[in-house]
Chain A
């Protein structure tokens, strides 16, 4: 039997609120299956489990706020039989101030989606009884119960969410500036080939299947880090852990303010069409607030594109524990010399912010040269 714990869904997350279980005791679970929805400061997140097994007991109830690392559920290994002892009931809340609620009342309250915390108990020691629940629902406090039900399942209000998002970004970025000795490199990249290739590639496509330059940029970064692995991975516990895969975090701005940089998994290996579909989906889900836990935690390097806002270039802040961030500015026609002749060339300024504890400017420069060359060969991306 193993413990399913609340994972950290980002460097800045300390606690979460369980919104909903999507499994119950006795259910079999598969690797990668979404088993619970947890509200973090930034979004409601679908949390996956990474072991096969059978759910034995759920230890935390919906509505509870718990710190990262809390055991949420116990799960039996495949083939393992349940121990003789009865599975433990839902873990009591850590604070002693929690109300006493009779089991029957708790079940009824769960069925009806009522938050017992909002109901006055008439039982022994102020315990909430079944009758209290029924009275609350049927009687004058029916609206309160309905409100309570909503409060239980509703993530934070937009204003709260905005403030929380800002706080989370502040924590992560402060940590980055405090701990990571950044160095920065810039390279202006010619994009005539990439744009011509895109024009031809998009000509015959229906609008929903067209590719954006952003996809070429993401794929080029993913390919480049495979050659320069010191840009790809995590700095943790005083050392660098290179990542096997290139999961590119894509900085996505939220319309109400703030940003999230969820991961496009294995971006180096996926065809551009697939990456484009996944990117579209990721942007949509990020803005709708329905990301998966792995998308929030897996990014091994981040790409930010601020060109649409019209800036020339970006001096990035690395998202810890990652060790590099690549930024792209605006694509514009600029004077350029090629083969000794002056011409008007569409170019973009690519920038690298990298962690000096892991790599040096020399390797960073080679990485940027690789990125530049990859973008000259769009047909091979």
Chain B
């Protein structure tokens, strides 16, 4: 999957949880959950959404590597490779 396509999928999944998100306001290098106000239920639903869209089951032990948007994208790229 192309980087841009992956990014679009991640943003779309995020917006299904938090419809008010504006992509232009997201900073790739800041903690995602703080920027978007995701509680633990929202976060789980975000990961469930990614699992459905990309068929990547993210184990709980990897949550710590998924803090910023950049990290999420890098992690998914690696898993999809």
Chain A contacts to B: CB under 8 angstroms: 199, 202-203, 206-208, 210, 212-214, 253, 255-256, 279-280, 283, 305, 308-309
Contact = CB atoms under 8 A, between A and B. Distances in A.
A305 B41 CA distance: 11
16 contacts: A199-B61, A202-B60, A203-B59, A203-B60, A206-B51, A207-B44, A207-B47, A207-B57, A208-B51, A212-B41, A212-B44, A280-B41, A280-B44, A280-B45, A283-B41, A309-B37
B39 A308 contact: yes
Interface in B33-69: 33, 37-41, 44-45, 47-48, 51, 57-61
A376 to B, nearest CB: 21
A33 B51 CA distance: 35
Interface of B: 18-20, 33, 37-41, 44-45, 47-48, 51, 57-61
Given A212-B40, A308-B40, A255 B48 contact: no
A255 B20 contact: yes
A214 B43 CA distance: 13
Nearest to A256: B20
A309 B45 CA distance: 17
Contacts of A212: 40-41, 44
B40 A213 contact: yes
Contacts of B39: 253, 305, 308-309
A214 B51 contact: no
Contacts of B38: 308
Nearest to A306: B39
B21 to A, nearest CB: 10
A159 to B, nearest CB: 14
A1 B20 CA distance: 49
Contacts of B33: 308
B41 A214 contact: yes
Nearest to A253: B39
Contacts of A253: 39
Contacts of B59: 203
Contact of A210 (B18, B20, B37, B60): B60
Nearest to B38: A308
B44 A199 contact: no
Contact of A206 (B40, B57, B61): B57
Given A202-B60, A206-B57, A279 B41 contact: yes
B80 to A, nearest CB: 16
B57 A255 contact: no
A199 B60 contact: yes
A207 B44 CA distance: 8
A214 B40 contact: yes
Contacts of A255: 18-20, 37
Given A213-B40, A280-B41, 13 more contacts: A207-B48, A207-B51, A208-B48, A210-B44, A210-B60, A212-B41, A214-B40, A255-B18, A255-B19, A256-B20, A279-B41, A308-B33, A309-B37
Contacts of A305: 39
A99 to B, nearest CB: 39
A202 B57 CA distance: 12
A283 to B, nearest CB: 5
Nearest to A252: B41
List of 4 A-B pairs having minimum Cβ-Cβ separation, nearest first: A308-B39, A207-B51, A202-B60, A208-B48
Contacts of A280: 41, 44-45
A275 to B, nearest CB: 13
A308 B37 CA distance: 9
Contacts of A208: 48, 51
Nearest to A250: B41
A295 B29 CA distance: 40
Most chain-A Cβ atoms within 10 A of its Cβ — which of B51, B57, B58, B60? B60
Contacts of B37: 255, 309
Contacts of B58: 207
Nearest to A280: B41
Contacts of A202: 60
Contacts of B20: 255-256
A250 to B, nearest CB: 10
